[in-house]
Structure 1
Amino acid sequence: MPTATRSRRAPVSRRQAKRMRRQARRKRLGMGIAAAGALAVLGTAGVVLLQGGGDEGDGRSTQARAVPSLSESPTVDPAEPIAPEPTAAPGGGGAPQSGAAASPTASGAAGQGTFSTAVAGGDAVGKGTIRRYKVEVEDGLEVDPKTAADQINAILSDKRSWTSDGKNGFQLVASGTYDFTVRIASPDTVDKICRAAGLDTKGEVNCDVGKQVMVNSKRWLTGSPQFQGPIEEYRALIINHEVGHRIGHGHETCPGPGKPAPAMMQQIYGLKGCKENAWPYSADGTYLSGPAVP
């Protein structure tokens, strides 16, 4: 019966030892890569790995940035003003120096960049300097040019509008010479035209630039969360505010709690205790003013 013998390991040469160490290092490296891959997958839930585009933009930096889960996403308070204060002064339905981006559906339709002039006219109203104006609507919007022109004419002819000052008058025309144009346009088109004059309307408000009063169709069609009156009244505020700038009026603010907000107040950013109001004058001819805004 043969006896069992213990096997003896052959001695390892220096070359074999070196080779074994290299294999061990490769094995450890492979495990590290696998672990890094697992971390990258987990990172999509809470950490995003951003590669490239460092401060120098040379693609060499790698940064990790924590992102909130869906449950941690910020919420928007619907009672907040619709937009932050823009860099240029937006009007209270709009303003001469500027004004914030509505989707095409929110403004009726996406504009086409071309305009149709309203075939409408009227007699001059008011005294003193008579300014002739025409009305244009960007093609593609759900706004009828003639209907809009008739509404604007009615606003500027109202005894509560600027004709009550005894120094200014207006006349709607469809052709011939004119002093300014009221243009109702999509948010994108308003932004483009106002931006060319250095004004930032942020897709939300109106501006008065050159010979143009640019009316944001989103405001014309949907009004403002800060203005609780009918849409027709808010349209009156847009026109009175913008035309007020055109004849030399600056911004005003609330004169006191419960009082009518001046037409020259930027009411879209909050009423500060005042009541919404679309008209510069009361029915008895009193100017509804407020402290001037520097």
Structure 2
Amino acid sequence: MSKHRTASHRRRQPHRGQRVAEGSAGHAGLAVLLTGLAITLPLIAMARDSHPATKSERAPISSVAASPSASPTSGTKFPDGEVAAAEGNVSRPSTPAATPVAIPERGSGRFEVAAAPSGALDEATTYRVEVEKGLPYTTNQVARFIETTLADDRGWAAEHQLARVDGHADLRIVLATPETADELCAPLDTDGRLSCRNGSDVVLNAWRWHFGADSYAGDLTGYRRYVVNHETGHALGYPHAQCPGEGATAPVMLQQTKGLDGCTANPWPARVDLGDHGA
């Protein structure tokens, strides 16, 4: 009985050589697996690096949109400046869904004066350009635009000598945030969206500078030239004008920010008669 159990037991035991072969096969299989992983993982990494990140994987890009007021406020009609009419029909351009910069409603109240390139002529009307700090425009950029506008032969240069200085000046042309513009224009009612001439101050509303007006839809440069010429025209003694007739070229002293009254937009004084067409 003991011999039978011993024999049976021996038949169940693997041969020594067999155990060695099985062990070698196991190690060989593990080695192949590890080698495969070593090759596959770098390939996966290379594949990920060869494709740009998807939209969901990219860091979000934030932008600030300006938030203009939705409706005008009725006010009083004054003789000077781009002021609100009693019925409050102020043209407000549609605002893009998103803009790369924001125009703050209130700024610092502090202004930077643009350096002037040369001395003024003795007989010239002098002006100084200032930009309220905190606006997304450089002082020199604004000053160059205003200077080229006022020096253009289609503008007031045809009738007046104007020279930009950085010291004492006859006129102060400022680009200001809406609330600062309202303060500088008071008691004129500019409603946070209009420009004015008040005494020796020519006040350009930065919201309008950025968004323009419906009367100049698609022509922001033209609108900026208009508002510079219009408000400077007041400082030079010109009153408001009326549209002379349907389809006519608008006088620059027409309140074109509020509408064209049947005229076509025009930013230049020399394009039409500079006489008094009535307030």
The 1:107–1:262 alpha-carbon spacing in structure 2 relative to 1, beyond 3 Å, is farther
Contact map agreement 1:115 1:136 (CA 8 A) in 2? yes
TM-score by length of 2: 0.63
The 1:119–1:186 alpha-carbon spacing in structure 2 relative to 1, beyond 3 Å, is same
Aligned-residue offset at 1:243? 0.9
Aligned-residue offset at 1:108? 2.0
Q: Counterpart in 2 of 1:14?
A: none
Distance 2:71 2:227 in 1: 16
Q: Counterpart in 2 of 1:157?
A: 151
Q: Counterpart in 1 of 2:128?
A: 134
Asked if 1:171 is matched to 2:163, the reply is yes
The 1:258–1:97 alpha-carbon spacing in structure 2 relative to 1, beyond 3 Å, is closer
Q: Which runs of 5+ in 2 are unaligned?
A: 1-69, 85-89
Aligned-residue offset at 1:88? 3.3
Asked if 1:209 is matched to 2:198, the reply is yes
Aligned-residue offset at 1:98? 4.0
Q: Counterpart in 2 of 1:16?
A: none
Aligned-residue offset at 1:96? 3.3
The 1:199–1:293 alpha-carbon spacing in structure 2 relative to 1, beyond 3 Å, is same
Map 1:163-202 onto structure 2 (within 5 A): 163-165=157-159, 168-175=160-167, 177-195=168-186, 198-202=187-191
**Residue 107 of structure 2: which of 105, 108, 111 is its match?**
111
Residue type at the aligned position of 1:96: G
Contact map agreement 1:98 1:194 (CA 8 A) in 2? no
Contact map agreement 2:199 2:235 (CA 8 A) in 1? no
Aligned-residue offset at 1:117? 0.7
Contact map agreement 1:107 1:218 (CA 8 A) in 2? no
Aligned-residue offset at 1:275? 0.5
Distance 1:86 1:123 in 2: 41
Asked if 1:234 is matched to 2:223, the reply is yes
The 1:156–1:251 alpha-carbon spacing in structure 2 relative to 1, beyond 3 Å, is same
Asked if 1:144 is matched to 2:133, the reply is no
Aligned-residue offset at 1:120? 3.2
Map 1:1-294 onto structure 2 (within 5 A): 83=72, 86-89=75-78, 95-96=80-81, 98=83, 108-109=103-104, 110-122=106-118, 129-165=123-159, 168-175=160-167, 177-195=168-186, 198-282=187-271, 287-288=272-273, 292-294=277-279
Deviations 1:203-230 (A, max 9, x none): 0101111221111001111111122352
The 1:291–1:157 alpha-carbon spacing in structure 2 relative to 1, beyond 3 Å, is closer
Distance 1:158 1:149 in 2: 14
Distance 2:135 2:151 in 1: 26
| Higher alpha-carbon Rg | 2
Greater strand proportion: 1
**Aligned residues with identical type, % of pairs:** 34
Distance 1:254 1:82 in 2: 25
Distance 1:290 1:86 in 2: 27
Distance 1:180 1:291 in 2: 22
TM-score by length of 1: 0.60
